[in-house]
Chains A and B, each alone.
Chain A
Amino acid sequence: MRMLRILSRNIRDSFKSVFRNFSLSLASISSITVTLLIVAISIILSYNADNITKVIKSDFTIVAFLNVDFVEYEEISKKLDDMDNISEYTFQSKKNIAEDMKNTSDVFENIISKWDESENPLQDTFLIKVEDTEKISETAKIIKEIEGVSLVRYGEGIVESLLSVFSVIEKILIIIVVSLILVTAFLISNTIKLAIFSRKKEIEIMRLVGASNINIKLPFVFEGLILGILGSIIPIAASIYGYNYIYQYFNGKLFSSFLMLVKPYPFVFLLSIVLISIGILVGMFGSSRAARKYLKI
């Protein structure tokens, strides 16, 4: 009961303190707001870039052509089932391919409809998607060794260079986001430290009348939490409305259907959670770090 009373008074005091030191609170809140906005923008950009590379990667397909007279498809299916790194595969018989081709143009239809079934010169194929695109060439090599497979194609050359570009982009994006978050943490905790510096006397008096260190620190930690929450309101609202607006404006894609934007929901909610967590953690950490400094009286 006693601890509960102390705790509830601490929370009440931190609310009071936010308003009693309004100009300082405002300085901390605006610094949190500005830096979180930058973090939000960088997360939106990097997440979309990451999504685009994923979409492109998921399009990577290995096409395995079978020998003309090979008919034991199921043997190959079994072998594919046993292999690692294969997410899915589909079998297309030469008859199906011929039908598909017929639909693409009149010329094809004209030619193909004259074929007898035994005359069909096309090859049965397996279309294979891989789990890890980095290993696509190795997987292709193994598939090539399977009995009955005559030819394997997966866009050699282009795929490799795309992959290396993507991995560079991914690394750069991670570095940018992580360093931005670190800078945010540093900026916010310094602003809060300055705000608390002006309350050095308050901490000193609290100590003199017999407040324990935890008693002094807790209101500051709660205050940091409140500042963090208040500071993340604008960035969260801006990213929810802003991203929705951009998504509508571009109709969900950039320039071509190849560059799809991430759907706003639930992405913006996840983003909001990330932003408010950064705000709260950094606010609390900054305050307690600053308060601790003045507890060594």
Chain B
Amino acid sequence: MELITIKEVEKTYKNGVTAICDANLKIKKGEFIFVIGASGCGKSTLIKMLYREEKPTKGEIFIGNINVAKLKNRKTYKLRRKLGIVFQDFKLLSKLNVYENVAFSLEILGLKNNEIREKTLKALELVGLKNKTKSYPDQLSGGEQQRVAIARAIVNGPKLLLCDEPTGNLDPITSMEIMKVLEAINKLGTTIIMATHDKEIVNKMNKKVIVIEDNKISKIMEKGKYDNEDVKDII
């Protein structure tokens, strides 16, 4: 069963730049997908349209039964409560500690305190940060901060996790640790879509790869590799 359906999507920014055009894609529940491509090819725009940061100029995007393309600005929270997002720059609230940062997305849902505590600690355990709940983001390393961000993204048990270059700011060893966390989350049934241009990661993980080239989806490969002949030419 499809979790995400992208149909003839096109995005042209106000300044006339077309970031992505003629995108058609179906993503099943539980998949782990890499979106790769050169800088400026439109992979970030594709991810941004999935969490309705950007609105497609044309076409339809369905996530579950939500028509993302038609979602009004003040209704975006309905979509975002159903998915988790991880960014390159973590986007943690610097004035909240680790626990509060993760608990925040549950508090706004109005959950009971003991429920929040249980879920938050479980998410932090999953990313291996249960012993740092009282630390503030600037007391953590980059990898730890990203793990907090991942915990925040998954704490509500979303079906879909969007990652926009989550390892972009991290060294290779830390990056692999993050990937292990993501793989563990995927194994629990969460669909993961990750935009990246980290060759090593894509090759090691051996997952489905979507190649974006010249603002178009040019290839979809099950168990794709970065050093695949076709992909090499592009990048």
Bound CA span A198–B76, Å: 23
Which of B85, B95, B111, B156 interacts with A208 by CB under 8 Å?
B85
Residue A202 lies at the interface, judged by CB distance under 8 Å to chain B: yes
Residue A289 lies at the interface, judged by CB distance under 8 Å to chain B: no
Residue of A nearest to B156 (CB): A210
The winner among A5, A6, A209, A213 for most chain B CB atoms within 10 A is: A209
Within residues 57 to 115 of chain B, which ones have a CB less than 8 A from any CB in chain A?
Answer: 73-74, 76-77, 80-81, 85, 91-93, 95, 104-105, 107-112
Q: A208-B51, A208-B91 are in contact. Are A2 and B110 (CB under 8 A)?
A: yes
Q: How far is the CB of A128 from chain B (nearest CB, A)?
A: 65
Residue of B nearest to A4 (CB): B110
B110 touches A6 (CB 8 A): yes
B74 touches A213 (CB 8 A): yes
A207 touches B112 (CB 8 A): no
Residue B225 lies at the interface, judged by CB distance under 8 Å to chain A: no
Residue of A nearest to B113 (CB): A5
Residue B159 lies at the interface, judged by CB distance under 8 Å to chain A: no
Bound CA span A46–B180, Å: 72
B108 touches A215 (CB 8 A): yes
Q: Which residues of B contact A9 (CB under 8 A)?
A: 107-108
Bound CA span A5–B95, Å: 22
Q: A5-B110, A5-B112 are in contact. Are A202 and B76 (CB under 8 A)?
A: no
A296 touches B73 (CB 8 A): yes
Residue of A nearest to B79 (CB): A210
**Contact string, A1-35, partner B, CB cutoff 8 A, digits 1/0?**
01101100100000000001100000000000000
Bound CA span A2–B81, Å: 16
Bound CA span A208–B92, Å: 11
Interface of A (DSSP majority class): helix
A207 touches B110 (CB 8 A): no
**Contact string, A201-217, partner B, CB cutoff 8 A, digits 1/0?**
11011111111110100
Residue B152 lies at the interface, judged by CB distance under 8 Å to chain A: yes
**Contact string, B107-125, partner A, CB cutoff 8 A, digits 1/0?**
1111110000000000000
Residue of B nearest to A12 (CB): B107
Q: How far is the CB of B175 from chain A (nearest CB, A)?
A: 22
Bound CA span A285–B108, Å: 23
Bound CA span A20–B136, Å: 13
**Contact string, B139-159, partner A, CB cutoff 8 A, digits 1/0?**
000000000000010001000
A6 touches B85 (CB 8 A): no
How many residue pairs link A and B with beta carbons under 8 A? The number is: 55
Interface range on chain A (Cβ under 8 Å from partner): 20 to 34
Within residues 281 to 297 of chain A, which ones have a CB less than 8 A from any CB in chain B?
Answer: 295-297
B77 touches A207 (CB 8 A): yes
Q: Which residues of A contact B109 (CB under 8 A)?
A: 210
Bound CA span A204–B152, Å: 15
Residue of B nearest to A3 (CB): B110
Q: How far is the CB of A230 from chain B (nearest CB, A)?
A: 19
Q: A20-B95, A213-B74 are in contact. Are A207 and B80 (CB under 8 A)?
A: yes
B107 touches A209 (CB 8 A): no
Q: Which residues of B contact A215 (CB under 8 A)?
A: 77, 108
Bound CA span A211–B107, Å: 9
Q: Which residues of A contact B92 (CB under 8 A)?
A: 205
A210 touches B91 (CB 8 A): no
Q: Which residues of A contact B51 (CB under 8 A)?
A: 208
Q: Which residues of B contact A296 (CB under 8 A)?
A: 73
Bound CA span A9–B77, Å: 18
Bound CA span A113–B10, Å: 112
Bound CA span A6–B107, Å: 7
Q: Which residues of A contact B53 (CB under 8 A)?
A: 208, 297
B108 touches A205 (CB 8 A): no
Q: How far is the CB of B81 from chain A (nearest CB, A)?
A: 4
Which of A3, A5, A207 interacts with B76 by CB under 8 Å?
A207
A209 touches B73 (CB 8 A): no
Q: How far is the CB of A203 from chain B (nearest CB, A)?
A: 11
Within residues 176 to 210 of chain A, which ones have a CB less than 8 A from any CB in chain B?
Answer: 201-202, 204-210
9 contacts between A and B (CB under 8 A): A6-B110, A204-B91, A205-B92, A208-B51, A210-B81, A210-B109, A211-B105, A213-B74, A297-B53
Binding site for A on B (CB under 8 A): 51, 53, 73-74, 76-77, 80-81, 85, 91-93, 95, 104-105, 107-112, 152, 156
Binding site for B on A (CB under 8 A): 2-3, 5-6, 9, 20-21, 201-202, 204-213, 215, 295-297
